[in-house]
Amino acid sequence: MPTDARILSPDQFLLTTLIVRLAVIATMATMLVRFGTFRLLLQTERRDWPDRVVFILALGIPLTIGVASRVLLRYDALDLQLAGPFLAGLIAGPYAGAIVGGMVGLPPTFNGEVIALAFNIGCGFAGGGLREVCPKESIWHFSPFVFTDLHRHAWSFLRRFTVDWQIALIAAPVGLELLRQALGHRFGARLYHLDGTSTAITFWVVFATVLSVAIPIKIWNSARIEHKLQEQEKLLMTARIEALSNQINPHFLFNTLNSISSLIRTNPETARVVILKLSGLLRRLLRSQDQFVTLREELSAIDEYLDIECVRFGQRLTVAKDIAPDTLDTIVPSLILQPIVENALKHGLSNKVGLGTLTLRSRLSPDGTVIDVIDDGLGMAPEQVATATTVSIGLRNTNERLRAVYGAQHHLEFDSTPGVGTRVRMVVPAQAVGIDVSTT
């Protein structure tokens, strides 16, 4: 094969350089957005100077290294002098853009490119100036393909006489690149530029400059949207849990007030004791609004609830506990056991003739912490077991809370035999132990 068949022509080499340059800017933008600190900086449009300094260093250092590599190695694909400062100004403001422009302008200045420093600082101020005057969301909608809808933008301008910021955002890097081309032709080596040999090549140089600004914005905007969706999902989950929890508390209060109402006529003294116990429990609930607590705290709340029920049941109710000490620090949703205990007392033991026993049991297993609520009451038929989490308000909400917190890993099962009793088992997944108990 002839030697010249394996060598790229100057135009082909320039186009290859442009493609590699776009790959470099895309890689840099992707790597930066993987850092949590940088990703958080993109979420707000008003940044304090410490945040701006972080942004300047995160963007300016790799850009400066790229320009220095071009100066030393003569590899043009790493040089992003115009796009880098303009992008910094567009995202973080004119001073941030100017500082980044100064950083990337220093290496070529020492290489004899004396116009580079002033030109790059000007590009930073140009991007920052656009940021100051245009709507911030318009920046994140920046796209080089606005020209495909140019007729629509023109019609919108003629109809409303409003500035189309997408056109303005495109025009700025286009104008800066054309200015660089003109200065480069006028002053030669005093300002670095990719010199196209034809109008078509010049067009691709200008288009690549626009893409060098648009690609990072698209990548960072996708990260912004993803972050916002995650935050919205967390807020939705919290709201859902709070709503289900708020449904449980009034349900418990309603049942307790019914019990007090029935005791007032037959046993006023007992009714007074129940009211005192209820007020103590309500004060406890008002003091703590945590969505998650330790099992130790949950059992303490259950003890206060059972104090109320023991007054109502009298000697008919016996409470037994078999709690493994190594489970007490397990994190569980707040008030998750109360509806289960309430259901056992109301449907299992209240109508039983004679004595009844309620047993609370916990142990560790490979799947997590197993918590059982067992009663030796009336029990349920198989068809009642199948509909237990849909008929009972408390159990339905408990099941929904577990589903909301643990997803597909949520586990609430019933095992009941008529005339023998019922066991309700809840399994807290092992990986859920690390949930922050202060989550609200």
The token duo for 131 is 């940021």
Beta-carbon contacts of 390 under 8 Å, excluding residues fewer than 6 positions away, are: 396
- State the pLDDT at residue 107: 93
Q: Is the pLDDT of residue 432 over 60?
A: no
User: What integer best gives the mean pLDDT of the chain?
Assistant: 82
Q: Under CATH, which number does the domain 267-434 receive?
A: 3.30.565.10
With bands split at pLDDT 50, 70 and 90, how would you rate the model's confidence at 62?
A: very high
H/E stretch holding 368: strand 368-375
Question: What SS3 state is found at 328?
Answer: coil
Q: In the chain, where are the structural domains located?
A: 3-228, 267-434
Question: Which tens digits make up the pLDDT trace of 204-249?
Answer: 999 999 999 999 999 999 888 888 877 777 766 666 666 555 555 5
As beta bridge partners, residue 360 has 321, 373
Question: Which tens digits make up the pLDDT trace of 386-417?
Answer: 777 777 777 787 888 788 777 777 778 888 88
Q: Are 397 and 244 in contact (CB under 8 A)?
A: yes
pTM of the prediction?
A: 0.61
Q: Is 351 or 390 the better-scoring residue by pLDDT?
A: 351
Residue showing tokens 């320009």: 67
Q: Is the pLDDT of residue 337 over 90?
A: no
Best CA proximity match to 358, nearest among 380, 336, 368, 343: 343
- State the pLDDT at residue 235: 62
Q: Is 217 or 434 the better-scoring residue by pLDDT?
A: 217
Q: Is 438 or 380 the better-scoring residue by pLDDT?
A: 380
How far CA 243 is from CA of 26, 165, 400, in Å, comes to 43, 43, 11
- State the pLDDT at residue 97: 93
With bands split at pLDDT 50, 70 and 90, how would you rate the model's confidence at 43?
A: confident
Query: What is 142-166 written as a DSSP string?
Result: --GGGGGGHHHHHHHHHHH----HH
H/E stretch holding 284: helix 268-287
